[in-house]
Amino acid sequence: MKDSWKFITPGYLKSGAGMSMMVFEYIKELGAKKIYLVIDPNLLRKNYLAKQILLKFEKIGSYVFSDFGTNPTTDQVNNSVKLFKKYNPDAIVAIGGGSAIDLAKATILTAENGGIIEDYLGGKKGTKPFIPFIAIPTTCGTGSEASPYAVIADPKLKKKRGIEDYNFLPRLVILDPELIKSLDNTILAATAIDALAHVCESFVSKKANEITQSSARGILLGLVNNIEKATFDKDSDHIFAMLNAAFSSRLLYPRTGLTIAHALSHPLGAYTNLHHGCAVSFFIPESFRANYPYNKDGFDEVFSLLGFKDSEEFYSWFGNFADRSGIKTYIQSYLEYKDIPVEVIAHDAMESSNIPSNPKPVDESDLVSVVKKSILYWKHK
């Protein structure tokens, strides 16, 4: 079998409880004096360690940007670009979930190469090298710190669009479970389910190969136990295992692509502003069911590695977990107050780069059917 793909990882990985403070040593090593810090505003309200880190950044005269929400928008990025250029930093640090890390990536790309973020979402490529970029994730799902992608919401087009740039890989990533403990159960669970989806979808993808699958097997083993313990016990070891799973699975899917669960989650997020992990959760049961006959062996192996005897046992656990963690209530509250434009979501999802890797060859009507079944699933749950 012949195959080739670009496999680029972050330069350094530091991991362990309390390791996020090591960021200052690395900044010293770089000789950087002006730091542009992108930090999740929600984190600052609840996490003592994050507050200590922020104070230290302020003490060394860093510029702090935290004017963004769950799904960073084009306006927020363009605003950040203006401030970034004015400040003219020599390094950028992102502390937060996928929203903070993606916003930081989009900021550097646009600030270094000129124009506005819409240019790059429309296909323009950056040519200039980046200043040093450091990412410290504070959720255990997105894996954005290990990926060459950034996803930004464009409210004018009502679309979430992605940019691929291998310069997005940070010079340094720090995985620190102490920064995750303050997350509430629902968000921690939703981000963990996002990580689970990444590895499951990568495994059953049409583009998976022996190397990606053997790496995925190691991530899938024990994953459900880690999700449960990380969510409900907020235990450092299990949170750390989830951080590792999110990081490792994200290294695989630039090669494998994902499936319609992710293809549909982005337009749903763009139209409803639903949290990405909840949008992925929304589609897991019905997209997996639709794909199952097209890669039965792959799905059966995934369910077995996760510790289930068959697909039904997996769906039963998933439904029960969504209930206990608050994901179900979160999704149902969105369904209650927002109209879901089924046809538009299906149409937009067909543009996703995850369509060619989906096990089942799909057209728009297949996706309409998955969206409708998913709405019914959560309504009657």
Residues near Fe ion (CB under 5 A) are 194
Decide whether 176 or 194 has the Cβ nearer to Fe ion.
Answer: 194
Rounded distance, CA 38 to CA 60, Å?
Answer: 15
Q: Kindly report the backbone phi and psi dihedral angles of residue 162, in degrees, each rounded to the nearest multiple of 5, phi listed first.
A: -105, 155
Structural tokens at position 243: 């951080």
One-letter amino acid for residue 184 of the chain: D
Shortest distance, position 177 Cβ to Fe ion, whole Å: 20
> Judged by CB, which is closer to Fe ion: 145, or 194?
194
Residue among 102 and 194 whose Cβ is closer to Fe ion: 194
Question: Which residues are paired to 39 by β-bridges?
Answer: 95
Q: Considering beta carbons, is residue 165 or 194 the nearer one to Fe ion? A: 194
If you write DSSP's letter for every residue of 24-51 in order, what string do you get?
A: HHHHHHHT---EEEEE-HHHHHH-HHHH
In the complex, what is the shortest distance from the CB of residue 244 to Fe ion, in angstroms, rounded to a whole number?
A: 16
* Amino acid in position 217: R
At its nearest, how many Å lie between Fe ion and the CB of residue 169?
A: 17
Q: Are 370 and 287 in contact (CB under 8 A)?
A: yes
The two structure tokens encoding residue 64: 């702090």
For Fe ion, the closer of residues 154 and 194 by Cβ is 194
Q: For the CB of residue 150, give the shortest distance to Fe ion in the complex, in Å.
A: 13
- In the bound state with Fe ion, the residue whose beta carbon lies nearer, of 35 and 284, is 284
In the bound complex, what is the minimum distance in angstroms from residue 194's beta carbon to Fe ion? 4
Cβ partners under 8 Å of residue 372, min gap 6: 342
Give the DSSP letter string of 120-172: HHTT----SPPPPEEEEE-SSS--GGG-SEEEEEETTTTEEEEEE-GGGS-SE
- Return the residue nearest Fe ion (CB atom): 194
Is 69 within 8 Å of 13 (Cβ atoms)? no
Shortest approach of Fe ion to residue 149 CB, angstroms?
10
For Fe ion, the closer of residues 39 and 246 by Cβ is: 246
Residue 6, Cβ density class (10 Å: 0-12 exposed, 13-18 middle, ≥19 buried): exposed
In angstroms, give the least distance from the CB of 111 to Fe ion. Answer: 26
